[in-house]
Structures are given as structure tokens and as C-alpha cells.
């Protein structure tokens, strides 16, 4: 995502964001690569991909997938909620994660 695809404006006391087109894998290609590089590194090892990324808060340099998480609790004598079940087979993100 280039800088022309993203804009932020905080004038007037509010926040306005403009988003460009992207895909799920735009985010995975960056965030998963950085996470794997960090997980494989030892103390003091260089992190070339993380260094190439630069400031992770500079959203003109990387893709971001905004999301909202919601937990719905069903009322009753015994309140319940629904959990997403993740298959144990490898997946693109959080492989083997069942919690």
C-alpha cells in the first residue's frame, strides 16, 4: 500500500481515515514474515526484514487489516458464549492454535 492509498486527518477534533484496496495476503506477507524472523532470531541477531519495514506505526509503509472483535454473552441462568473452533491442521496464521 503506497502513501497515496492511505490518508489520515485529525483536524476538527475528530479522526478521518481513508483506506485503499488491499488483500488479506498484503498483510500476511509483511506481518507473518516479521513475526517468523523474530521468532527464529537469537539474542543480538540482525533482523533485516524488520529493519527494512522501518517504523511499524508508519501505515504508509505497510498493510493493515482493521478489525473489530466482539464477544456476545447470552443471558440466562447459565450464561454462555460461542467460540470459534480452529482446526489443528496448519493454517496461514496461528497454525496449531486451538485456544
**Tens digit of each residue's pLDDT, the chain (99 residues):** 444 445 555 666 677 777 777 788 888 888 888 888 888 899 999 999 889 888 877 877 777 777 777 888 999 999 999 887 766 666 666 555 544
This prediction's pTM: 0.48
Residue in 25, 24, 49, 29 with CA at minimum distance from that of residue 37:
49
Dihedral over Cα of 38, 40, 41, 47: its sign: negative
Contact (Cβ atoms closer than 8 angstroms) between residue 7 and residue 17 = yes
Amino acid at each position: 500500500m503506497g502513501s497515496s492509498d492511505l490518508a489520515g486527518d485529525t483536524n476538527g477534533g475528530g479522526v478521518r481515515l481513508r483506506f485503499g484496496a488491499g488483500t488479506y495476503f498484503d498483510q500476511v506477507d509483511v506481518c507473518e514474515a516479521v513475526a517468523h524472523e523474530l521468532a527464529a532470531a537469537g539474542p543480538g541477531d540482525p533482523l533485516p526484514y524488520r529493519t527494512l519495514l522501518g517504523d511499524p506505526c508508519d501505515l504508509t509503509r505497510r498493510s493493515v487489516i482493521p478489525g473489530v472483535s466482539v464477544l456476545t454473552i447470552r443471558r440466562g441462568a447459565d450464561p454462555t458464549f460461542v467460540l470459534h473452533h480452529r482446526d489443528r491442521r496448519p493454517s496461514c496464521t496461528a497454525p496449531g492454535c486451538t485456544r
